[in-house]
Copies of this chain bind each other. A is one copy, B any other.
Amino acid sequence: MTSGTVKVKLTISYDGHAYSGWQIQKTGLGVQQRVEEAFVKLFPNPVRLHASSRTDTGVHAIGMVAHVVLEKQQFRMTPSKLALALNAHLPQDIRVVSASQCHDDFHARFDARGKQYRYFVWNQTAHNPLLRKLCWHIPQKLDIKSMRESALLVVGRHDFKSFAATRSYEMESTVRTLFRCDVRKQGSLLTFFLEGDGFLYKMCRGIVGTLVQVGQGKIAPGAILAILETRDRRAGGMSAPAHGLVLWKVHYPPRNARATLSGGSPLAAL
């Protein structure tokens, strides 16, 4: 990055229904592509967005974070005007929620210290037509107490290979730390909160699918520990469908605390 550039941090929300996820796939359009196209309407040079995460096909986001480098001489508006201008060129299912100038060495992916995903289930005989594209419908009665008991067992530092799809463990470690895994019940709406320092490919959906099977009595609450130990995806439960999952928030350390935090607990930055 040269001194003739400006780095901007964007927070983006999207309805994942129509997209192949954040990235372009052979199977369809990525959200990233749409946002980059909106930039092209505003600035002459093509830009590249760098995002904190890749969400999978059909997964939604409330607080996806990405950064972008712009030519200073072209960028003659305030960041909040930039958000408005981008939204004018984006479809209704993608919104830039906020934009702000960030430090030159900020990196949306490498600086992320934690992420929160939420997963929504509608647990009633009939689905809720108003939330049908945002919730997984489970018509059978679920044993919430067992699900909570089970959820607590996956919190902490574990090898999550049993809950992730094969793709992710070819190259990197499959050990991650979950800070939070719990279930809130409000009437028929169940919200799963999953917060951790990182997530493997399809890991959230593997955990939620397994917890739902615990709630259905198909997997014993304590069995989740043995499943973790096998480090084998075939031992884990089903994968919950994409449309109930939302990337809710990405956590970064406060700017002036970055140096001291890099070796400390990621939770301290939240």
Contact = CB atoms under 8 A, between A and B. Distances in A.
Contact of A129 (B94, B98, B129, B132): B94
Contacts of A130: 13, 15, 60, 62, 134, 246
Interface in A121-139: 124-130, 132, 134
Nearest to A94: B129
Contact of A95 (B15, B92, B97, B127): B127
A87 interface: yes
Given A130-B15, A130-B62, A246-B130, A125 B93 contact: no
Nearest to A97: B126
A95 B134 contact: no
Taken together, the copies of this chain in the complex come to: 2
Given A87-B126, A126-B97, A132 B92 contact: yes
A96 B246 CA distance: 27
A140 to B, nearest CB: 13
A13 B95 contact: no
Nearest to A60: B130
What is the size category of the interface that chain A forms with chain B? 20 to 34
A83 interface: yes
Contacts of A92: 127, 129, 132
A131 to B, nearest CB: 9
Interface in A89-108: 92-98
A129 B14 contact: yes
By CB atoms of chain B within 10 A, which of A15, A62, A96, A130 has the most? A130
Interface string A238-257: 00000000100000000000
Contacts of A13: 126, 128-130
A93 B128 CA distance: 8
A17 to B, nearest CB: 9
